[in-house]
Homo-oligomer: A and B are copies of this chain.
C-alpha cells in the first residue's frame, strides 16, 4: 500500500586518509566514502515512524560523486512504486532496475553502474525488511526455497548451477533452519579483525593492536602485505610473536602482484603459515588465481572484494581458483546477486567469508553470513566474517561484535532492515563537499570531484 514518493542520494566522505586507516599496498590514501541512497515513502514502519529504505555502496573517495549520479538515475525509476508489490517480487524489482540497456552498456554488470545498482537495491531490501518489521536476514531465511530462488539472478549460470540445483540446495537445509537460528542467537557469527594490520601503521602500533585483538578474543587476524618483502617478514614476525600459532594469521596483498611474483612472495612468507593470501593479483585474473592456488597450497587463496559479479564468481569456482569466497555487499547487486553467489559457493563447496570494513559493509555482511549459514550452506567450517572497527558510530543500528566465549562474533541483528541507516547528523557533517566537516576543510589532496563540463578555459 505505501508508495515510494522520492529518492535522495548523498555523497558522504570520511577523511580516513588522515590517519592511515584502510591503507594497503594498492590503496595508500583512501577517504572511506558512501554513495548513500534513501528511498522515501508515504507510509509508516511497524513502529509508526516514517517508512524509508537506506542503502549504500562503498568507495574510497574521489569519484563517489560519479556513483551518486548513477545511483540517482537508477533509483529515480522506483518513484511511484508500491512497496508491498515490491516486497512480493524483489526478483522483478531487480530485473526492472537492470533492464535499462542504455545504462547496461556502461558495464555491463560492473564498475560504476553496478556499484550504484548495489546501493539502490540495498536500499530497496532495507525498505521491504523495515516494512515487514524484520531484520533482513530474518526476512530472507523465512522465505521458502522457491521464494528465495525467485529473487536470485541465475542468468549466465546454468552451466554451473540450474534452478533445480538451487532448489535442491535450499530444500536440504529447510527443516533445520530454526535450529541454526537458535545456535547463532547464542554464539553469534564468527568474526576476524583487520583493524590491527593496515600498512600505514608502524611496528609499535601493529604490536599494540595485535595484543588488543588477542585480548578481545579474536582467533583470526589479518595483515596487509605486498609493498616491501623485508617489511612483510618483520611485520609477520611481530604478529606471530604476539598472537602465537594457535590463532590464524591471514595476509592480504590488495592486487599488487603479477602471478609469478605472487607465488614467489607468498612462498617467502610461508614460514609464518598464513591461513590465506587475499587478492594476490588482479581481481579479474581467474586463471591467474588458479595458478597461484596450485603453487602455494596448503596456503589458501581468497578473493572477492573486487569480484564484480556472479559470472566471475562462477568461473573462480569452476576453475578451482579460490579457497575462500569474499563477496562484497557493495559491489555485487545486493541480495539478488548475493543469493546466486551463495548458491554457487554451496554447490562447489567453497566457504563464503564476506569482505567487510569500509563504510557500512560490516553492518550488511552480518545479514549475508547468517543467511548463508541458516538457509544455504548450513556449515560454519572455515567460515569467518571480516570485522573492522571504524565508522560504526555513523549508523543508527550499528553491528555489534562480542566475545561469546568461543571467539569474537557478530551478534545476531534484531532491528528491522539491513542495518544501513546512517545517522542524519553524520550525513550532515560529512556530506561532500558542503557538509560541516568538508566546508571547514581546505585539504586539496582530499577534495576535487565536483565536476563542471570544462576546466581551465
Contacts and interface: CB of A to CB of B under 8 A. Distances in A.
Interface of A: 4-11, 26-31, 40, 59-63, 65-70, 72-73, 75-76, 79, 100-115, 155-159, 255, 258-261, 281-288, 291, 306, 308-309, 311-312, 314-315, 318-319, 448-449, 451-457
A79 B159 CA distance: 49
29 contacts: A4-B456, A6-B454, A6-B456, A7-B454, A7-B455, A7-B457, A8-B453, A27-B101, A27-B105, A30-B101, A30-B102, A59-B105, A62-B100, A63-B102, A66-B70, A72-B451, A72-B455, A106-B111, A106-B112, A108-B306, A109-B284, A111-B114, A112-B113, A156-B288, A158-B260, A282-B311, A284-B312, A285-B314, A287-B315
Nearest to A111: B111
Nearest to A71: B451
Contacts of A29: 101-102
A360 B264 CA distance: 44
A127 to B, nearest CB: 15
Given A5-B457, A29-B102, 16 more contacts: A7-B455, A8-B454, A10-B453, A30-B102, A62-B102, A63-B70, A73-B448, A73-B451, A76-B455, A108-B306, A110-B111, A156-B282, A158-B259, A158-B261, A159-B260, A288-B311
Contacts of A281: 156
Contacts of A308: 110-111, 284
Contacts of A312: 284
Contact of A286 (B4, B106, B155, B286): B286
A261 B154 CA distance: 14
Contacts of A115: 106
Contact of A455 (B6, B28, B101, B107): B6
Which of A5, A28, A101 has the most B CB atoms < 10 Å from its CB? A101
A31 B68 CA distance: 23
A332 to B, nearest CB: 13
A451 B113 CA distance: 14
B287 A59 contact: no
A390 B223 CA distance: 54
A73 B67 CA distance: 13
Contacts of A255: 108
A110 B110 contact: yes
Nearest to A316: B287
Contacts of A111: 106-107, 110-114, 308
A448 B79 CA distance: 14
B306 A106 contact: no
Given A101-B28, A315-B285, A454-B6, A67 B106 contact: yes
Contacts of A452: 72
Contact of A62 (B40, B73, B114): B73
A147 to B, nearest CB: 23
Which of A102, A115, A156 has the most B CB atoms < 10 Å from its CB? A102
A449 B315 CA distance: 34
Given A76-B455, A284-B110, A66 B63 contact: no
Ranked nearest first, the 6 interchain pairs of A and B with the lowest CB-CB distance are: A111-B111, A6-B456, A112-B112, A6-B457, A61-B102, A62-B102
A343 B311 CA distance: 27
A311 to B, nearest CB: 4
B258 A158 contact: yes
A380 to B, nearest CB: 30
A107 B157 CA distance: 23
Contacts of A108: 255, 282-283, 306
Given A291-B159, A311-B284, A312-B284, A68 B105 contact: no
Contacts of A258: 155-159
